[in-house]
Amino acid sequence: MTQSRTHTCGELRIEDAGKEVVLAGWLENLREVGANLGFAVMRDFYGTTQVVIETAEMLQEFKSAGKESTIQVKGTVRERSSKNDKLPTGAVEVVPKSITVLGKCRFNELPFEINHSREADENTRLRYRFLDLRNPEMRDRVVLRSKVTAELRRRMIEHDFLEISTPILTASSPEGARDYLVPARKHPGKFYALPQAPQQFKQLLMTSGIDRYFQIAPCFRDEDARGDRTPGEFYQLDMEMAFASQDDVLGVLEDVLTPVIEEFGLYGERVTKAPYPRIPFREAMSKYGSDKPDLRIDLEITDAAKVLSDCGFGPFAAGNAIKAIVIKDFKESRKWIDKHIADVEVQSGEKACWFRLDENGEIVGGIAKFVQDRKAAVIDALGLENDSLVVMTASAKEAQALKTAGYALKIFGQDLPEHFDKEQYAMCWIVDFPMYEIGEESGELEFCHNPFSMPTGGLETLLKAERGEIDPLTIMAEQYDLVINGYESASGAVRNHDPEIMVKAFELVRLTEDAVRAKFPAMYNAFCYGAPPHAGAAPGIDRLIMLLAGEDSIREIIPFPMNKNAQDVMMGAPGEVTEKQLEELHILIKDEDMPTDPEI
């Protein structure tokens, strides 16, 4: 121990009674009982200890110190007459002989009560994050993060992976999100980029002869925040294996992640056992309306077009896709249904509809009048039983009907305890992703998931597509995502390590070999020197810990996160810089009102 203390505030027990001790921590609370009696609570990283003040002089010293000041107390441990079984230190108390203020809190009012900081406005919490982190709940999140990260690192090393740090300042690369750019002082007009992921570097390590690589990698993407994603910076367990297949990567990650989740998760005893289910992308979309299915919900999507097409209800016109979710043993009210139907429209932007088969076997409610003349066929086709609710979506496009049905499945399912087994970690791999898709904005063929993935069937499949023998949209890629409780928690692929296959894959999206060489010079050149087959993945550290802690917001498990507007309100970032700094970087800030004519 240091000179400031002999014990921590979470350490003293009944066997310490009679000892002379020195404690150091924060004055969490002071309760005055009379002119010469009071009870103080001291808190440090390890816990709390009660201090009993029995003289007017000592009581005045504690009052002068002030709440949340850092103090040192010297005193004697004694057994408490009224024990608190809820606290580890609840059997003892300290009678102080002296108090020293080590760090004075100079404010009479705090921005929030420390132990209730999570009830405060988020921007206030982030502005005073150093106070927010004094809350034991927030401290526990920091501890959890440290322990999980250490255990992941230990298990990767046990699997013979070598931890290697890759560059933070690198070149801009089209990875799917906006880059954070850093001006290069010595190279006017040129910029570094912060890495969106170490993707190219880890593949270059495989080409260099490194067999198994990993790192707890910081990644930087200029994208908008949401509950499970923070803007700016995040961390992932980045890994890559040479001479490896999809099965090799999935097996390693199952070996690494399963015991970590079992040890640190809220529901650690209820984790999907390896091997996790593997669900092809198209099957996931048809069954769950999502490539991130929450398997804690026991509902699935059914195709209802054959039995309900052209029934007189406008959205069910002939040729439209019609999807249904059958919810059996349904007891909720009409008001409950209407609320959840409205929530589907808010979240998906598309309408859903419904009807019920009541306890008497009658079709009622919603669009029941359009279904009556097909009652027997509908009951048979959808497998309905009495007390069933049927929620439906429709669209001229199959993908849109499925997507809306996916929202409905999740919104209804998560609010029905009989269909939602919440307290578990339901894991699955989504595999066999399409290599290509038609871009919503461009209307042309684009990469669907990861341009560096190996197309299933290799070069021959790409040549068939080039010759028009197969539709490029039917080409699958050796890509895989890990999904935990409806959250994408890892993404990876078998890599395209052959420059000939790489070029052909890009030619299908209108990029020439020269363009590929220009965009990815290091990878292209390295692959031309004989690259080994390799595969990898990158589980997200922040999202994994969010799930282990049972949090809904990823900002709760990051020590110093940005707010939803990508601002660090505590440090004042982003902030302005001086004219001198801008001059050194050869940067001119353009006035928004300035004309754009280059001759002006």
Quick: pLDDT tens for 40-89: 999 999 999 999 999 999 999 999 999 999 999 999 999 999 999 999 99
HEC secondary structure over 93-131: EEEEEEEEEEECCCCCCCCCCHHHHHHCCHHHHHHCHHH
308-312-317-320 Cα dihedral, nearest 10 degrees: -30
Quick one: average pLDDT of 566-574? 94
CA atoms within 13 A on the CB side of 83: 11
Could you identify the residue written with the tokens 């070996």? 255
Q: Residue 600: which pLDDT band, with cuts at 50, 70 and 90?
A: very low
Q: What is the pLDDT of residues 441-454, one digit of tens each?
A: 889 999 988 888 99
Least confident of 222-236, 459-473, 549-563: 222-236
Confidence of residue 1 (pLDDT cuts 50, 70, 90): very low
Residues 6+ apart with CB under 8 A from 495: 203, 206, 452, 453, 454, 533, 534, 535, 536
Q: Half-sphere exposure (CA, 13 Å, Cβ side) for 265?
A: 21
Residue 595 has pLDDT above 70, yes or no: no
Mean pLDDT of 541-556: 95
Instruction: Tell me the pTM.
Output: 0.91
Q: Give me 56's structure tokens.
A: 């007017």
Residue 195, both tokens: 């890495």
| Residue 503 CB-density burial (10 A; 0-12 exposed, 13-18 middle, 19+ buried) | buried
Residue 502 has pLDDT above 90, yes or no: yes
Q: What superfamily does domain 297-419 belong to in CATH?
A: GAD-like domain (3.30.1360.30)
d(CA 112, CA 155): 40
Nearest to 42 by CA among 58, 61, 23, 60: 23
- pLDDT, one tens digit per residue, over 343-391 is 999 999 999 999 999 999 999 999 999 999 999 999 999 999 999 999 9
How far, in Å, CA of 222 to CA of 196, rounded? 9
What is the average pLDDT score of the chain?
94
Flag whether pLDDT at 596 surpasses 60: no
- The pLDDT score that the predictor gives to residue 268 is 86
Write down the domain spans for the chain: 14-103, 297-419, 427-537
Residues 186/216, Cβ–Cβ less than 8 Å: no
Check whether 592 has a pLDDT greater than 70: no
CB 516, CB 509: distance < 8 Å: no
Torsion of CA 193, 196, 200, 203, to 10 degrees: 150
List, for residues 117-138, the tens digit of each pLDDT value. Answer: 999 999 999 999 999 999 999 9
Q: What is the mean pLDDT of residues 581-592?
A: 88
Share of the chain above pLDDT 70, in %: 97
CA dist 469 to 225, 459, 461, 472, 509, Å?
Answer: 43, 14, 9, 9, 17
Angle between helices 541-549 and 136-158 (to 10 degrees): 130
The pLDDT score that the predictor gives to residue 176 is 66
Side-chain half-sphere of 242: how many Cα atoms within 13 Å? 18
Q: What is the pLDDT of residues 88-102, one digit of tens each?
A: 999 999 999 999 999
The SS3 assignment for 168 reads coil
Whether residue 164 has pLDDT greater than 50: yes
Distances (CA, A) of 354 to 83, 297, 324, 325, 395: 58, 19, 9, 9, 15
- pLDDT, residue 554, reads 93
Sole residue written with tokens 């439906």: 392
CATH fold for the domain made of 14-103: OB fold (Dihydrolipoamide Acetyltransferase, E2P) (2.40.50)
Task: Give 38-49 pLDDT, tens digit per residue.
Answer: 999 999 999 999
Q: Tell me: the pLDDT tens digits for 319-331?
A: 999 999 999 999 9
The rounded percent of the chain whose pLDDT value lies above 90 is 90
- Output helix, strand, coil percentages for the chain, rounded to the nearest 5: 35, 25, 40
Rounded to an integer, what distance in angstroms lies between the CA atom of residue 31 and that of residue 37?
A: 9
Residue-level pLDDT at 313: 96
User: What tokens appear for 255 in the block?
Assistant: 């070996």
d(CA 367, CA 143): 53
**Rounded CA separation 68/48 (Å):** 13
